């Protein structure tokens, strides 16, 4: 009987060990899957940030072109510096971010 009990204890220990090893392997597999999903999320986030950067750069370029065009309108106007017409004053105030009176 002692031998049977001893085998049973060893059998239980072996089964627990195998179960623990299987659990560890499942955790490792799940971790690898999670890391892969996280990597995909980062790749998507990188694409989104790149798109936002490109859109912002295009917006800054358009703003710069608009500013240059407005300054050209002021330069080509028949009024002169220090005595600007209402339209040119409005443009200059807009460009300087000052409130109109």
Q: What is the pLDDT of residues 29-56, one digit of tens each?
A: 999 999 999 999 999 999 999 999 999 9
Residue 99 is given by DSSP the state P
**For residue 30, what are the contacts with CB-CB under 8 A and spacing of at least 6?**
none
Q: Give pTM, 2 decimals.
A: 0.61
In DSSP terms, 83 is beta-bridged to 80
d(CA 80, CA 91): 14
Q: What is the pLDDT of residues 85-99, one digit of tens each?
A: 999 999 999 999 865
Phi and psi at 93, nearest 5°, equal -65, -40
**For residue 100, what are the contacts with CB-CB under 8 A and spacing of at least 6?**
90, 93, 94
């Amino acid at each position: 009987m002692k031998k049977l009990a001893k085998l049973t204890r060893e059998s239980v220990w072996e089964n627990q060990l195998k179960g623990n090893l299987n659990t560890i392997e499942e955790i490792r597999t799940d971790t690898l899957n999670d890391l892969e999903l996280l990597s995909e999320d980062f790749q998507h986030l990188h694409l989104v940030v790149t798109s936002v950067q490109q859109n912002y750069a295009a917006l800054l370029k358009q703003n710069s072109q608009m500013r240059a065009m407005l300054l050209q309108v002021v330069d080509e106007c028949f009024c002169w510096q220090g005595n600007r017409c209402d339209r040119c004053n409005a443009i200059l105030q807009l460009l300087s971010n000052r409130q109109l009176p």
